[in-house]
Structure formats: structure tokens, C-alpha cells
Amino acid sequence: MKNGALFIKAALLFCFITGCSFMNEQQEITTPANTLIQKQLISEGQDLNNQLIIIATGDMSGVYFSLGQVLSNLYEKYNGAVTGTQVTHASIENTELVSQHQAEIGFTTVDVLDLPETKKSKLRALTTLYSNYVQIVTTKQNNIDSLKDLVGKRISIGTSGSGTRLIAERILLESDLPLDQLNLSYLSFSQSAEALRNGTIDVAFFSSGIPNNEIAFISKEMNLSFIPVPEDIIDRLQKQYGGYTKNEISSDTYKGMKKNIQTISIKNVLLTYDEMSDLQAYNLVKTLYEHLPELQHTHPAASDISLNEATQQIPIEYHQGAINYFTEQEIIH
């Protein structure tokens, strides 16, 4: 069994390096036929079959990637799984990968789940997580104080396939700005931060847990400003789409901030596909919550993950394995 696991890990590493993808079906690895031991390990959340688990994350500088790395380690350590994380463009791409069985788990935002192209029937929720905050960042030298000041400016709205681009486009559409006078680019978090640093863009949208690592880093190098999302735009987005919450970025989040900034927050969800077994889904959720402190030490945003809020209303079904765990914990009845 150990040799088999090492073989799969080697193959996993090779495929990530060479860019190949994994098929969902893996060759079964035989295990000792000791029923008593097997039952005991299953009761402890172990996976005797060295199940391959690919976790679709996001930009390497984002919270999804950090948490995905820790989840990967938890599932190897406590479930005996063979795991790997995949760098992606985040939410929209992650839902596609999971629905196509190219990843077993993916992070996404709630608003993505209601898109017409999202294959909701093929997806199941494992748990809700923390919230993303829309952070519209510029430098003080640009003298940009509101969305109205974006006319004629160079703006990064996030990569194709990201939740950042989705919410950025929705905010800009609701702002009634002349779209043909916006110079848009589609950069990742790290690319946006570098472009702000070298002055090749004026403004960047980030949708992530707070603090965002890239924003935190550049706030120590240069004076940043944050553009608020007006209340009327928040109200219209809530009525049109749901899933958005009026919130604030606290003034102590980044160096140089002088006041709280009004914005929108969006809940994150951990997804799997509909055909995952109930036992495996149960164990994935169980391991996450039994070892939640290890996840919360990874990033401050993860401190908002709470078992009591794990079953918040979202527009897809929860996996039966997750429901079984939450019922056992008396979170649902």
C-alpha cells in the first residue's frame, strides 16, 4: 500500500510539472483484508484506499491557495489520502473543474453558483467558509476617491474565470460609467499588485479574504487608497443577484488606512461533485472541522470559518455526506 501511494504521488507531481490532467477514475489499490482494522480506521476518518484528491484553488498569492495547501496536508495526515493542489483562475474555473471531475474539491464564491453556465446539478456543497471582501485599490498619487473617478483610468478587474472579475464587472455596470472610456485589463492578484507598484495601472479590484497578502505587502512600500462601493450600488446588486452583503474593510487591515471602507462581501463555499461517496464527503468535512485550528492558523480570514455557520443557505444542494456530519453535530435536524 505504501509503495502504491508513493507511485501515485510521483505521478501526481509529474503531471503538475508537465501540465497534464488527472482522470477521475484511478486504479484501485489493494489493502489488507482486516475487517476490524478497516472499520476502526473508517470510524476515525481514515481512507484506506489512498483516494486521489485534487483541490482547485486560485492565484498562489490568494487565500484559496493557502487554505488549499493546508487542507491537502490535513487530508494526507488524517485520512491517508493522496492529495495535490491546482493553481487556477479561482471561483468560476474551480466550479468547472469540479463539475467535470477534474478536481475533487474546489473553492468558489456564492455568486458564481447562480451563473447560467454553472452546472449546479453536478455540484454539491461541503460547507460554507469565510467571506471575500471586494477591495478596490489605487495609490494616493492618482487622486481617485470614488468610482466616478475611474473614467479614463487603467483598471485591472481580475482574470477570466475568477470571482473577482465577476463582481468587478457587476459593480462597474451598476456604476453607470461610460464603459468605452474604461481601460480594462485582466490581471491576477500578483500581477495587479506589481502593476500598481510600477504604475502601469491606476486601480485594481481584489475579491479575497482580508487581509489580502499582495495588498498588505505593497501597502508597506507605497501609500494606498481604497475606493468605497456606494450603498445604492450595493442595494441594487443585492436585489438583482442576492448573495452580497454590505460590509466594511476595517481601518486596521492595511498600513496607512485612516478609516473604514464600505464594500461588499461574498461567502465562500467548498465544493465537490455529486458522485463523490457519502463516506468520503463525510470524512472530508469531519477532518476540516475536527482540525479547524490548523486551518485557521494559515490566514486570518479562516478565523471566520465556523461550524455553526456551515450550512448557510446557498443555491446548490449540500452533499449527503456533509449533511450526515452536520446532523451528527446537531447543526441541522
pLDDT reported for residue 333: 67
- Looking at the DSSP bridge assignments, the partners of residue 208 are 133
Residue 37 confidence (pLDDT) above 70: no
Nearest one of 139, 59, 150 to 107, comparing CA atoms? 59
Handedness of CA 58, 310, 216, 202 (dihedral sign): positive
pLDDT value of residue 332: 83
- Which residue has cell 490568494? 62
DSSP 87-134: --S-HHHHHHHHHTTS-SEEEEEGGGGGSTTS-GGGEEEEEEEEEEEE
Check pLDDT > 80 for residue 50.
no
Q: Is the pLDDT of residue 109 over 70?
A: yes
Q: What is the pLDDT of residue 39?
A: 45
Percent helix / strand / coil, the chain, rounded to 5: 45, 20, 35
> What is the bridge-based pairing of β-strands 224-227 and 123-139?
antiparallel
For the chain, domains (ranges, CATH) are 2-131+268-328 (3.40.190.10), 132-266 (3.40.190.10)
**CA-CA distance, 246 to 45, in Å (whole number)?**
38
pLDDT band at 7 (very low <50, low <70, confident <90, very high): very low
- Interval 287-305: pLDDT, tens: 999 999 999 999 999 999 9
Spatial separation of the C-alpha atoms in residues 54 and 77, rounded to whole Å: 15
Of the candidates 282, 294, 213, 223, the one whose C-alpha atom is nearest the C-alpha of residue 255 is: 223
Q: What is the per-residue pLDDT across 228-283, written as a single tens digit (0 to 9) for each?
A: 999 999 999 999 999 999 999 999 999 999 999 999 999 999 999 999 999 999 99
User: Residue range 32-58: average pLDDT?
Assistant: 59
- Average pLDDT for 122-151: 97
DSSP 204-217: EEEEESSS-HHHHH
- pLDDT in the model for residue 270: 98
Supply the pTM of this predicted model. Answer: 0.85
Q: How many percent of the chain have pLDDT more than 90? A: 82
